[in-house]
Amino acid sequence: MLVVANLGQKAVTGTVRVDLAAMGLRNAAAVNALDGRPLPLSGGILSVALKPTNFALVEIDGNAADK
């Protein structure tokens, strides 16, 4: 689980580099853990659009290819 937050006063799209290999994951996917919507995760780069003073709780699923 990751918490990605926007503490600013403007909407932003944040990117987070996730070292999937260090986490022992491959073929991973990311979802918003609060509403189940998928989030873009490509090459270990997670993108999250956030409204001002808001956050996202992100679940990284390492078994995405098995589903």
Radius of gyration of the chain (CA): 12
pTM of the model: 0.83
State yes or no: pLDDT of 64 exceeds 80. Answer: no
The pLDDT, as a whole number, for residue 8 is: 97
Task: Convert the pLDDT of each residue in 2-44 to its tens digit.
Answer: 999 999 999 999 999 999 999 888 889 999 999 999 999 999 9
User: What residues make up the domain containing 37?
Assistant: 2-66
State yes or no: pLDDT of 62 exceeds 70. Answer: yes
- In the chain, how many domains are there? 1
Domain holding 15: CATH number? 2.60.40.1180
Residue 63 region by backbone torsions, left for phi larger than 0, else alpha for psi between -120 and 50, else beta: alpha
